[in-house]
Amino acid sequence: MKKQPKVLETLRIGNRGEAFLEFIISKHCLMNKIVGYRDVGVDYICEWLNGDTPTRILFGIQVKTTERKDVTVTNKGINRRLNELPKVEISPSPFDIEGKTIEYWSGLSIPLYLFLVIKESDEEIFNTYYTRLTPVLHKKDGNIVGKINEIKKGLFYQANKNSEFSAIVPKPNKDGGFVRDLFIDSIRCSYQSGSVMYRDPGESGINWPKDKIYPDVLGEEKADYITKVKKGLILLEKNGLIKVDPDFEAKIDKLKKSVR
């Protein structure tokens, strides 16, 4: 019998995880798979859909899959008043991240998410969890090793109920769900680029206020958003278009405290 090529188990496990994620999330976004030599740290570039309408809201996904029996998922309650999704701790960490991947992610200007697909029983039951990469990547004082450890040891959010993706969790004033995190992380990316403008939340189908400043995000101590936004304003000031308040940072901090 002629010797046949083998398909590695790690490849088969990875394919199963990606297939499951595509199955649950494709109802809500267009998923563009990055394959072969073009895969340098992002598995999918996705465009969110509002019903059947493409929104032009882009985000990136890296997918990790595990069927290891020693991996434990510990429930930490619901992420109340935020995305309203179940919080979990996952240990031991079933994935690795290379330093060059962190470097690559840090240069992207779209929200990024790490999705972990776990086979949690012998009955072919899969669950999907995600962690938000953008808040970690935007930290101004974290080294690469520190950021890797924070991602691996951080909280994940359960993204599915059986075969349904937890896109939106309806709330009276501010919806939760994955789209809530996508909206907030889009604001983070705008602030990181020096702009206070962001996409109307209604475009993504989420019920959130529009045309306002989010001082708790803008004034986040571990990020550099205030400096970047102020730099853009000072450029306008140099051209005589506006006047930047000398107490700009202090007033943002005051706004942040009033919100909290």
Coil, helix or strand for 74? Answer: strand
Q: Averaged over 8-15, what is the pLDDT?
A: 59
In this predicted structure, which of 2-16, 105-119, 130-144, 167-181 has the lowest mean pLDDT?
A: 2-16
Both tokens of 142, joined, read: 């974290």
Q: What is the pLDDT of residue 10?
A: 57
How many CB atoms neighbour CB 2 within 10 A? Answer: 3
Q: What is the pLDDT of residue 44?
A: 96
Both tokens of 133, joined, read: 């990469």
Contacts with 216 (C-beta within 8 Å, 6 or more apart), sequence order: 256, 259, 260
Euclidean distance between CA atoms 230 and 86, whole angstroms = 36
In this predicted structure, which of 94-98, 170-174, 256-260 has the lowest mean pLDDT?
A: 256-260
Euclidean distance between CA atoms 17 and 7, whole angstroms = 16
Residues 140-175: pLDDT tens digits?
987 999 999 999 999 999 999 999 999 999 998 899
Backbone angles phi, psi at 130, to 5 degrees: -130, 155
Euclidean distance between CA atoms 18 and 33, whole angstroms = 10
pTM (global) more than 0.85:
yes
Q: What is the pLDDT of residue 9?
A: 52
Give the residue, 17 or 179, on which the prediction is more confident: 179
Domain boundaries, the chain: 9-193, 217-259
Average pLDDT, the chain: 91
Q: Does 33 have pLDDT greater than 60?
A: yes
Residues 36-92: pLDDT tens digits?
655 578 999 999 999 999 999 999 999 999 988 899 999 999 999 999 999 999 999
